[in-house]
Amino acid sequence: MKIPIAIVDDNTQNRLFLAEQIGYSEEISISFTAKNGIDFLEQMKRLPISNHPLVVLMDIEMPEMKGTEAVRYGRQIYPDLKFLMLTVFDDDDKIFEAIKNGASGYLLKDEKTSTIIDHIQQLLEIGGAPMSPSIARKALSLLSRSYVDEPNEPVSQVSNILSERECDVLKLVVEGKDYRAIAEKLFLSTHTIRKHIANIYDKLHVSSKAQVINLALQGKWFIA
């Protein structure tokens, strides 16, 4: 069964090109495309619930209603809907605003289509927080500054919780590597990597990459 998604981008050429490229995938189907946040919300209202997308690829800077606002309203109306930011902007303010408003992940538009598809699947399979590597590093920096300002009680050392192989995988996850890159680095299959990450999330009692990074900072794990 294909994963239904929506694409929201004010640039017509970008929107149609991405829809066409993702449309070739055997895993993803396009429910609809929208030119801005208002257009997205209006189309969602008109669609039967059974036809709603599960994931929305959301641009940020758009006329009438920007993506971060659309995420905030969308999360209130459709709490089960996952929003994955897809943008050219990588500045701290936009990353923070998107995550604060309920975005489940943050990717840059220079990602390969295959990588975007992988991240969509990851988002639904393990409830992670897909991020482009440069965004993951920025998120780590933001959390690091927050940790210095408001330190929390330390947690157990990661080596006492995870296996040696899971520690290897966790280090690469925090560095922003996707499934394929981790699999290539460790000479394992992507299926094995998915299982390791699911086990890591289960053992650490988290459901997202951001939570993993936060735990790493609290416990002062040497994983970055």
- Per-residue pLDDT band for 133 (boundaries 50, 70, 90) equals low
The yes-or-no verdict on residue 173 having pLDDT over 80 is no
Q: Above 70 in pLDDT, residue 37?
A: yes
Note whether 5 and 105 are within 8 A (CB): no
Q: Which CATH number fits domain 3-130: 3.40.50.2300, 1.25.40.10, 3.20.20.70, 1.10.10.10?
A: 3.40.50.2300
What is the location of CATH 3.40.50.2300 in the chain?
Answer: 3-130
What residue ranges of the chain are covered by domains with CATH 1.10.10.10? 137-219
Question: What mean pLDDT is predicted for residues 126-141?
Answer: 63
Alpha-carbon gap, residue 219 to 136, rounded angstroms: 18
Q: Give the pLDDT confidence score for residue 221 in this predicted structure.
A: 58
Which range (67-71, 147-151, 217-221) has the least confidence?
147-151
- Percentage of the chain exceeding pLDDT 70: 75
Contact 63, 39 (CB under 8 A): no
93-97, 141-145, 165-169, 187-191: lowest mean pLDDT where? Answer: 141-145
d(CA 220, CA 208): 18
Contact 107, 79 (CB under 8 A): no
* 103 token code pair: 């975005």
More confident residue, 114 or 130: 114
C-alpha to C-alpha distance for 156 and 159, rounded to whole angstroms: 8
pLDDT digits (tens, 9 = 90+) for 67-116: 999 999 998 999 889 999 988 876 667 777 887 788 888 888 888 899 89
Q: What is the pTM of this model?
A: 0.65
* 48 pLDDT above the threshold of 60: yes
Q: How confident is the model at residue 222 (pLDDT cuts 50, 70, 90)?
A: very low
Mean pLDDT, range 125-152, rounded to an integer: 57
CATH of domain 137-219: 1.10.10.10
**pLDDT tens across 181-201, in order?**
888 999 999 889 888 888 888
